[in-house]
Amino acid sequence: MSNIKTIETIIAPPPPHMVGDGFRVHNFFPNNVIDKKRMSPFFLLDYNSKVEFSPREEPRGVGVHPHRGFETVTIAYHGQVAHHDSGGNSGVIREGDVQWMTAASGLLHKEYHEKEFSRKGGLFQMVQLWVNLPAKYKMSPPKYQEITNSMMGRYDLPGDKGVVEIIAGEFNGVKGAASTFTPLQVYNAKLKKGAVLEMDFPSFYNTGILVVEGSASINNTAAPADHFVLFKNDGEKIQITASEDTILLVLSGEPIDEPIAQYGPFLMNTWAEVEQAINDVSAGKFGVLED
């Protein structure tokens, strides 16, 4: 029996939609192809493929909104995003950086294009992930991790053929910067043309790769830019050859085998918990954040 992970499907970018007025995203999951638990512990992947924003004095973005029961992870490839939340956290991520916000028991949150970026305009490319939390951690205190590019783990490929930036988890003995509640791996693999990369993940982990830039042969199958490669839960090995200079976002994690009740910005286990979250927002229990 082969130990290669089988590719289940390669998904073209779905039609984009706007989140607020600052993020034009393709939603790869959850959707009709990949359901709510198929990529667990990753619940959602919104991909803002490359788009040019014109200069603007008033920054585009998403106004104040609540979250409970999960984490949001924003990965910047081009452009700059400013973050504020009702826990008093704020920061700006620039190209190569990551914001990892644990909403858990509840936060109000807003994110906009950074002011100077907005004034100048320019190329914008981002990923936002929602990472589910197990029931026992859903009501944990919120926290915020600002992960600059220099903080990430770094594995340099032999022969100056590229680098694997480890945002979370571990690769070839190099650990990532993010602390997580369940075992998961999040990497940016930045490969030069002709680079060969091999990775191993447990067969039962849910695993996928987003082609952010360039193109690659993944387990002998062509994967073009802006497509998402979903693997079956078999085998362990993934073999990648970069067809050109390429950036891949690699996601793999141990599934959370619990019920999901999701409504808007709430990701809980039961509908009663969702109703409680709505009531708690109305009662002001998520704090205060000015728009």
**What tokens appear for 111 in the block?**
């994110």
**Mean pLDDT of all residues in 164-192:** 98
- The closest of 130, 127, 196 to 157, measured between CA atoms, is 196
Report whether the peptide linkage leading into residue 30 is cis, meaning its omega lies within 30 degrees of zero: yes
Q: Which domains does the chain have, with CATH numbers?
A: 7-282 (2.60.120.10)
Q: What is the SS3 assignment for 95?
A: coil
Burial per residue of 20-54, b for 16 or more beta-carbon CB atoms within 10 angstroms, e otherwise:
ebbbbbbbbbbeeebebbbbbbbbbbbbbbbeebe
DSSP letter for each residue of 143-207:
EEEEE-GGGSEEEEPGGG-EEEEEEESEETTEEPS---SS-EEEEEEEE-TT-EEEEE--TTSEE
- Whether the predicted pLDDT of 2 surpasses 80: no
pLDDT at position 291 is 80
Q: Which of 218, 211, 226, 233 is nearest to 39 (CA)?
A: 233
- Residue 1 pLDDT level (bands cut at 50, 70, 90): very low
pLDDT, one tens digit per residue, over 17-37 is 999 999 999 999 998 788 899
As a whole number, the mean pLDDT across the chain is 96
Mean pLDDT across 178-195: 98
pLDDT in tens, 266-286: 999 999 999 999 999 999 999
pTM of the complete model: 0.97
From CA 47, how far away is CA 51, in angstroms rounded? 11
Reported residue count of the chain is: 291
Rounded Cα–Cα distance for residues 283 and 291 (Å):
18
> Which residue is listed with tokens 């490319």?
125
Mean pLDDT (whole number) for 95-114: 96
Percentage with pLDDT > 70 across the chain: 100
